Structure 1
Amino acid sequence: MRIGIAVGDLRRGVAAEELVRQVRSAAERGLSGVWSSQAFGWDALTALAVAGAQVPGIELGTAVVPVPQRHPLVLAGQALSVQAATGNRLTLGIGAGISMMVTDMYGLPADRPATRMREYLSILRPLLRGEAVSHQGDTLTAVGQVGVAGATPPPVLLAALAPAMLRLAGELADGTVTWMTGPQTLADHIVPSVTKAAEAAGRSAPRVVAGLLVSVTNDEQGVRNRVAEQFSLAGQVPEYRAVLDRERAAGPQDVVIVGTENQVERQIRRLEDAGVTDFFAAPFGGPEEQDRTIEVITALAEAEHHRS
């Protein structure tokens, strides 16, 4: 299992210099990749272009870019621009977005998410390959072509929790990327579903990238309380409520990886046993807590490197 780390706003609001420092630190520590989320701060793709252009050698992933507010022609141009700026190291993680935010914030439709995503991927993948598209469908119209010199098509991962999205992740994407999804759900639902879909489509084994909050601490309950407070929305929206219910978790506080060094290591190893191919940790807490967590993540990544 490859081990990476979240950078940018998921850890805390950062200036450009700190963002670059986080990516450089991850590369120097030998972590497999850095993963940038899309929320209400840094644009995830811009963040990776800014930092990745200054730090060579490490995978740069989005986890994830919601696509309803980005037309496939726009996203293809953005992704290929990042590829050109960073030596083709991008892994493009995309998702349907949280329906409440899509409708309330952007005034966009969020019904039939799997139907919309199937159409979106059928346009995006050819565009990333530099092919022209002429598509008039039920949910999208796209006519045009994108070309960026020196850019190659990035792998595409689809954020998927529901069965229909997991089938799409195996059939039309290169795998899936999850957030706040516990080990039992990964083992019993996510991994077998996306793997079966890839096999049925005659595709190679999919990547399963799992992201979770991680905190190495002697105050486990205190961390869980803070996670419950800071990430309370995730426990309420239907998209995350469904996957938390599968894990029999009351909220995000029940799927955080937390405890002493040995306890955290055992919990991360459980993800590998579940079939996760890539794990990225989002260190939680203040600077000292994050530093302690990063040391454990680094040691695990080194151990994985020696095993491979």
Structure 2
Amino acid sequence: MTDYSVLLPCVPRRLEQALPFAGLVQWTGATRLWQGQAMVMEPHQTFTGLAGAGFRVPTGFGVTLMPLRHPYEAALQARSVALATGESVIAGFGPGAAAFQANILGAPYAKPLQVARQYVTAVRGLLDGETVEMDGPHYTFRGQLAPAVAPRVDVGLGVLRPGMARLAGEVADVVITWLTPPAYLREVILPAVEEGAARAGRTTLPRIVAMVPTGLQKDGREGDVPERLAVIGNAPHMQAPHYLDMLGRAGVDVRSGKLEDVARGVVETGAFAGGDLPQVVKALKAFEEAGVDEIVLNSTAVHKLFGTQETLSDLSTILKAVVAPH
């Protein structure tokens, strides 16, 4: 059975902006509250603050960017959230765009897959209570987290293309995708994950989590057509080289480079779940049928256009249609 979760659809500047969405997870059938990397209020602090305000819900980071923190701090921060919330955490990591790597580190990763392998392996070992010793080529350190009984922290990798999918199959607990069409997941990503798991001798596959942008079309609400919502919620992604490469592999015509053309392809391939409620539910079911274990509803565009109340209304309506209440 596929779980449904909620992405925090804004970058909060005050904790109270995130509270309604934590409440939505706490009071509905949603499984987990997720946030991607934020550069205003750091997500680990946001989730810890929500716990202090009484909203202790399972959380997910999808994904935080590896150049920003050492693997030891990454493990410590993730476990700190688990301790603060008393709930499970999925700590997802990704290398980010090459330009971001260069800006933060002085140069892009020469071998991103090799860096990701060492990073995830170190974080998993630290969370398991091991003394981790890394002797290069990318990280050189020796460390162990102070012992503490905490809820489970799973380690995930952000995955767009087959190479990272194979690596995730080898070393990650969770595969986290963003803006990936369901057919591409079924035909490209999942087989690559299975290949990596088999290569590593793993008998259990990582869980598959898909971040799915969505928005309902409602009578009397102007501007909520799927193509427009796709642009408003995902314009930076639909212009980034690594996302364009993934979308091109998934059958989206990205040759013109025009946002409206890419958005049309994103909608046509089902990467954006839009339309009326039956259409949205049908689009989400395609991800279930593709083998996704957890679907994260990304209503960023609705929030940007119509605000918190409309976003909560959309999410509540969709959740009622796809999951049973607590």
Question: Does TM, scored on the shorter chain, surpass 0.5?
Answer: yes
Aligned with residue 295 of structure 2, among 276, 279, 287:
279
> d(CA) in 2 for partners of 1:167 and 1:41?
32
Tell me what 1:238 maps to: 241
Instruction: Indicate if the aligned counterparts of 1:167 and 1:193 stay in contact, CA closer than 8 A.
Output: yes
For residues 196-235 of structure 1, give each alpha carbon's deviation from its aligned partner in whole angstroms, at most 9, with x where no partner exists: 3224422313210000211001467744225325533212
Match of 1:228 among 225, 228, 231: 231
> Residues 250-265 of structure 1 correspond to what in structure 2 (within 5 A)?
250=254, 251-252=262-263, 254=266, 255-265=271-281
Does the alignment pair 1:248 with 2:251?
yes
Deviates more, 1:211-220 or 1:19-28: 211-220
Please name the residue that 1:42 is paired with.
41
Q: Counterpart in 1 of 2:92?
A: 93
Post-superposition shift, 1:271?
0.5
Is residue 3–residue 31 contact of structure 2 (8 Å, CA) maintained in 1? yes
Alpha-carbon spacing, 1:208–1:50, altered in 2? closer, same or farther (3 Å)? same
Tell me by how many angstroms 1:274 deviates. 0.7
Alignment correspondent of 1:5: 6
**Segment of structure 1 superposing worse, 172-181 or 198-207:** 198-207
Q: Tell me the C-alpha RMSD between the 2 structures.
A: 2.3
Alignment of 1:159 onto 2:158: yes
Q: How many residues align?
A: 303
Relative distance call for 1:17 and 1:233 in structure 2 (3 A) is closer
Distance 1:163 1:230, change over 3 A: closer
What pairs with 1:33-182 in structure 2 (closer than 5 Å)?
33-55=32-54, 58-147=57-146, 149-182=148-181
Q: Which amino acid aligns with 1:302?
A: V
C-alpha displacement at 1:81, in angstroms? 1.1
Q: CA deviation at 1:92?
A: 0.9
Q: What is the letter of the counterpart of residue 271 of structure 1?
A: F
TM-score, normalising length: structure 2: 0.85
SS at match of 1:155: strand
Specify the SS of the correspondent of 2:316.
Answer: helix
Structure 1 CA distance for aligned equivalents of residues 114 and 78 of structure 2: 23
State the shift of 1:184 in Å. 1.3
TM superposition score normalised by structure 1: 0.89
Q: Is the 8 A contact 1:180 1:252 kept in 2?
A: no
SS in 2 for 1:58: coil
Amino acid at match of 2:237: A
Structure 2 SS opposite 1:110: coil
Instruction: Please tell me the residue identity of whatever aligns with 1:277.
Output: D
What residue in structure 2 maps to residue 208 of structure 1? 208
Instruction: Please state whether the residue corresponding to 1:24 is helix, strand or coil.
Output: helix
Counterpart of 2:15 in structure 1 is 16
CA contact (8 A) 1:128 1:146 kept: yes
Is 1:30 the counterpart of 2:29 in the alignment? Answer: yes
Aligned mates of 2:151, 2:236 — CA distance in 1: 37
Tell me whether 1:300 sits opposite 2:298 in the alignment.
no
Deviation at 1:14, TM superposition (A): 5.0
Partner Cα separation in structure 1 for residue 54 and residue 245 of structure 2? 38
Q: Structure 2: how far apart are the matches of 1:108 and 1:87? A: 38
Higher deviation after alignment, 258-267 or 213-222: 213-222
